[in-house]
Structure 1
Amino acid sequence: MLFYFAFANSAQAYTSQEVKEPVEQKDDHWMQGLHETVSDSVYQSAQWFDSFFIANESEQQSPKTTAKISFAWLPKSRDWSEVKPRFRVRVKLPHFQDRVSVVLSDEADDELNNLPLESVNTKSRIEEEKFSLALNYTQDKRDDRLMNYRLGISGGDIFVRAKHKRRFNISTKQGFLFEPSLYYYLDEGLGAKLLLEYDYQLSKKSQFRINYSIRGSAEFSGIRWKHGFYKLHQINETTASVLSLQVEGERNGDRGFVIDKYTLGYRYRFNALRDWLFFEIEPFVEFPEEENYSTTPGIALRIEGFFHKG
């Protein structure tokens, strides 16, 4: 599998490989200590949570835990102060045949608002950030399909979500993804989203991708949509890049058809120092409607750490 698929889900790409014991070096032993401390802390919490579902402690099995912690600085011409710390913890519970997992995150709206490869989203404000705790159940998971359900709380609002994912191989170079989802929030009401994706393999190390999503909800009028055009390239085993153009807006709302923003960016991602540590540099240019589509350049600098055990 090419390294650039880590852009879509770095945690899965990291944990899907065999985890090797890193060689401790004198000059960076503190980094390994940090990794072990965070991994052990998440793992112990998972064991404590999983123990509620067994009658005898002798039946205790080992859960699988994955945590992602990232820090991003997104300075741009009109705002140089935006810093985004992020975390996401996923715990698979062995007493449910790994079909059930607990997801703890501060990126609650990521799946609803963003495209899979979208990384620069400077529209969000601090008061819109939501903390999420959810129970995720996977009913049917295969290489070409997925069906799961999620029940949880986000920003003080209880929600339930159902998502179906189906992938079709048109040919050896072309693929298509169909992903509808239905969700309901007690405060915001019923909503639905449809994500479509087309992939074309240009070469062994290069791919062209188109994403399109539409979303409707009782929370707002009209339909919100996003287009994404991407050129993915694997530079070497530890480095990849994505050239992107995204357009987003709404239609059938109070203002009719409107384009909210254009975003052009180049994302450079590499793995360094440790196999669990990733760095990103992403210069971008925005053309937001609220600024009369004037040019707004910026750059995103990120550090991501992945912590896995079990």
Structure 2
Amino acid sequence: MYKQKEIALKLIGLLFIFYFILSQAVFAKGIIKDNSNAKTESITAQPNHYCEHQQWLDKTYCHFFYGIDSAANTLNDWSRHEGSNLNSEASTSGRLRFGWEPRSGDFSALDFRFKIRVKLPALEERVELVLSDQEDDVNGQELKAARSEELGNNKDQAVVALQFKRSAEDKVSYRVGFGRGSQIYTRARYSDMHRLSPDSTLRYFAEANYYSEDELGTELNAEFAHVFTPKLAYELSNSFRYRNKSNDWLWRHEMQLIYMGKNNSSYLFTAMIDGLSQPNYRKEQMLLSMRYKKQVLREWLYLELEPYILYLRREDFRPSIGIALRAEVHFST
């Protein structure tokens, strides 16, 4: 059964990649279908008129961006029905991240992450398509070395899912798809935000989920944020995830200090500890890091430098010193 689900997930990914390649071929040949909607036609034509005259970096980004945008608008067209918004086009947002994260004892840690989110106005902004290689749950980790299987991280964290709400403003969202190692899953999440003062906010969510192998589960998260100045902010996060299959809790406590520097740069200082409730409430790992992020060359390209110290239980909490080097591409419509 697990093998069949893994194959199904890979087929879905291959179909999306095939459509993306096909859209690139359409752009390259300048094939523009007649359409009464002038706006849609101009957007489809733009890559051929604009991308070919760019430098190689801009040209690569341009074709990739409009390939994703074309695929999203095709999905939106398929979703149109009587009474839906016939003029608005799909909106896409996401990022690609390429990283090298060497640390003492492991100098070959390469990491690639992606996340694409598509909103479909044809369905009244109530449905989103999510494609990602990471779960947006309480156990998500930026550093590859901190994604331990003891804390519920699978090597295959690919996510293909549909998320929908009863209305665009609804605080309850529902999701169904594949995740956590190609498991079929569904979830319901309630999220909200309260402004405690002009400078302080409290964000939280609670969810119930069911995974075909992990079975029933719940997740709780609360984040307190305070803005000291326009350039300095503090955030405290506490998270818990219950797994019915193993009858235990995964927990995390994290503090972050964010400073906005000059010339589109930022500094993020992080102190994090997480662990399990079984066989007792104990820590599994600790992390201290400082991430420097700067926009370079283009408004959509960022570089990150993150020195860190990681303590893992499986390594007897010996300090492992490392540095993460990343390039990140952002896109949105």
Same fold at TM > 0.5: yes
Q: Please say which structure displays the higher CA radius of gyration.
A: 2
Structure with higher strand content: 1
Instruction: Please give the per-residue CA displacement for 1:288-308, whole angstroms capped at 9, x wherever unaligned.
Output: 111111110011111111123
| Percentage identity across paired residues of the two chains | 23
Does the aligned pair in 2 maintain the 1:270–1:279 contact within 8 Å? Answer: yes
> What CA distance in whole angstroms lies between the structure 2 residues aligned with 1:197 and 1:54?
37
1:130 aligns with 2:154: no
In the TM superposition, residue 141 of structure 1 has moved relative to its aligned partner by 5.2
In the TM superposition, residue 201 of structure 1 has moved relative to its aligned partner by 1.9
**Could you tell me which of 111, 115, 127 is aligned with 2:137?**
111
**Unmatched runs of 5 consecutive residues or more in structure 2:** 1-49
> What CA distance in whole angstroms lies between the structure 2 residues aligned with 1:91 and 1:257?
39
Specify the SS of the correspondent of 1:37: helix
Q: Alignment length, in residue pairs? A: 277
1:266 aligns with 2:262: no
Letter in structure 1 aligned against 2:108: S
In the TM superposition, residue 66 of structure 1 has moved relative to its aligned partner by 2.0
Corresponding residue of 1:289: 313
1:305 aligns with 2:329: yes
> What CA distance in whole angstroms lies between the structure 1 residues aligned with 2:219 and 2:191?
12
Moved over 6 A (4+): none
**Could you tell me which of 171, 175, 185 is aligned with 1:159?**
185
**Could you tell me which of 209, 213, 221 is aligned with 1:187?**
213
In the TM superposition, residue 60 of structure 1 has moved relative to its aligned partner by 6.9
Corresponding residue of 2:99: 72
Corresponding residue of 1:11: none
In the TM superposition, residue 61 of structure 1 has moved relative to its aligned partner by 4.7
Letter in structure 2 aligned against 1:70: R
Specify the SS of the correspondent of 1:236: coil
> What CA distance in whole angstroms lies between the structure 1 residues aligned with 2:231 and 2:146?
32
Does the aligned pair in 2 maintain the 1:225–1:250 contact within 8 Å? Answer: yes
Does the aligned pair in 2 maintain the 1:140–1:147 contact within 8 Å? Answer: no
Specify the SS of the correspondent of 1:128: coil
Structure with higher helix content: 2
Corresponding residue of 1:277: 301
Corresponding residue of 1:97: 124
Describe the shift of the 1:220–1:123 C-alpha distance in structure 2 as closer, same or farther (beyond 3 A): farther
In the TM superposition, residue 199 of structure 1 has moved relative to its aligned partner by 1.4
Describe the shift of the 1:210–1:184 C-alpha distance in structure 2 as closer, same or farther (beyond 3 A): same
In the TM superposition, residue 237 of structure 1 has moved relative to its aligned partner by 5.1
1:220 aligns with 2:243: no
**Unmatched runs of 5 consecutive residues or more in structure 1:** 1-23
Q: TM-score, normalised by structure 2?
A: 0.76
Greater relative CO (CA pairs within 8 A, separation 6+):
1
In the TM superposition, residue 208 of structure 1 has moved relative to its aligned partner by 1.4
> What CA distance in whole angstroms lies between the structure 1 residues aligned with 2:268 and 2:54?
30
> What CA distance in whole angstroms lies between the structure 2 residues aligned with 1:61 and 1:178?
31
Instruction: Please give the per-residue CA displacement for 1:255-286, whole angstroms capped at 9, x wherever unaligned.
Output: 21211111000011111111111111100001
Describe the shift of the 1:237–1:171 C-alpha distance in structure 2 as closer, same or farther (beyond 3 A): farther
In the TM superposition, residue 127 of structure 1 has moved relative to its aligned partner by 6.3
1:120 aligns with 2:143: yes
Describe the shift of the 1:66–1:187 C-alpha distance in structure 2 as closer, same or farther (beyond 3 A): same
Does the aligned pair in 1 maintain the 2:163–2:175 contact within 8 Å? Answer: yes
Q: TM-score, normalised by structure 1?
A: 0.82
